[in-house]
Structure 1
């Protein structure tokens, strides 16, 4: 075969290969789930169906959220002791909690005082939350309101079904959970997460400054709650 014939043959082979590549379908690029970045807290929200973790009870009540906060601690006690401590804890027993809540409620109480109100509102506490559901590994509390208002603007919620069904413009649905995860060394990883779902733009804009204003203090209180639950659980285990 002459040199010119070989070059023509190679040229035809190259064009045939390129034609086959053009007809070969390519796999579509996997796109990451889109997240709402209009508000800073929304950008960190993890979709409830994310395959990186199992479904939790809190996902049932607040599957998507506008703001969230999470803290954790390791507890050297069995799950039943930790669960018992969670179901009986009262954050208002913490002196720092009472001080911070008193400061938070000061504008409301001052207005009532000068407005001539004869009734004094009760101090905000765990009784304002509704126990939505719990199992052997998680406890979920719920709260609905307009938390930027001096009186928190709370709505009455009877149970988990009422919380799930609640839909009202301008009202934020907040879920607070405590989740237990056994570790390989026998300890329990106790995690608490707070999720706030705003149903509309107006509620988001009103909650946004309030959330970030109170977040340093709420984070401190949640860490103290976890430390208190750790102490109670380990003390109950030691005395068993």
Structure 2
């Protein structure tokens, strides 16, 4: 089954092929080698994405100007998962309320847990077919957990979307700036 834009399936496609909640944002970055784009994904800082920085600062997270967005910040929300050279992937799991988190790594929980009361989260930043994208997928292990999470998702989704678009735009600017230098 092809991934987004007719590309090969992503690790996120393999990890969470089904979801209850999804957010996907894209920006074109044509004619640039994958390694250059992914280097920018790993190097872009909060100082380069002022709107994202302002929005995330509301959560009291550390968004110091020199702190890298993807490897430093996003990985604090979960666990970096193995992925391909064109993708940065992390996973997370939450057990809302008094549900104990199942044993195992976050990757093991996301791929294998079937216990009720768990939210499985996968998020990536990927460059494929000239498009830089960021996607989040969330799967609840039962209907009650899905219903409880839904209002929160709809509350944060707009701010999350603005944050992602700002982050992707900052990465794109860095890629284009560095491409002009070489």
Q: TM-score range by the shorter chain?
A: 0.7 to 0.9
Match of residue 179 from structure 1: 126
Please list every run of 5 or more consecutive structure 1 residues that lacks an aligned counterpart in the other structure: 1-48, 106-121, 183-187
Match of residue 33 from structure 1: none
Match of residue 79 from structure 2: 130
Give the CA deviation at 1:89: 4.1
Q: Tell me: CA distance 1:173–1:92, structure 2 relative to 1, closer, same or farther (3 Å).
A: farther
Specify which of 161, 166, 176 is matched with residue 219 of structure 1: 161
Runs ≥4 residues deviating over 6 A: 153-157
Match of residue 176 from structure 2: 234
Match of residue 69 from structure 2: none
C-alpha separation in 1, matches of 2:51 and 2:102: 26
Q: What number of residue pairs does the alignment pair up?
A: 167
Give the CA deviation at 1:86: 1.8
Match of residue 151 from structure 2: 209
Match of residue 100 from structure 1: 55
C-alpha separation in 1, matches of 2:43 and 2:101: 23
Greater RCO, CA 8 A, separation 6+? 2
Specify which of 154, 165, 188 is matched with residue 112 of structure 2: 165
Structure exhibiting the larger radius of gyration computed from Cα positions: 1
C-alpha separation in 2, matches of 1:199 and 1:79: 35
Match of residue 85 from structure 1: 40
1:134 is paired with a residue of what secondary structure?
A: coil
Match of residue 22 from structure 2: 68
Give the CA deviation at 1:210: 0.7
Assess if the C-alpha contact under 8 Å between 2:52 and 2:167 holds in 1.
no
RMSD of equivalent CA atoms: 3.3
Please give the TM-score of this superposition, normalised by the length of structure 1: 0.58
C-alpha separation in 2, matches of 1:164 and 1:229: 29
Give the CA deviation at 1:78: 2.0
Please list every run of 5 or more consecutive structure 2 residues that lacks an aligned counterpart in the other structure: 64-72
C-alpha separation in 2, matches of 1:73 and 1:225: 10
Assess if the C-alpha contact under 8 Å between 1:69 and 1:195 holds in 2.
yes
Q: Tell me: CA distance 1:166–1:237, structure 2 relative to 1, closer, same or farther (3 Å).
A: farther
C-alpha separation in 2, matches of 1:69 and 1:165: 23
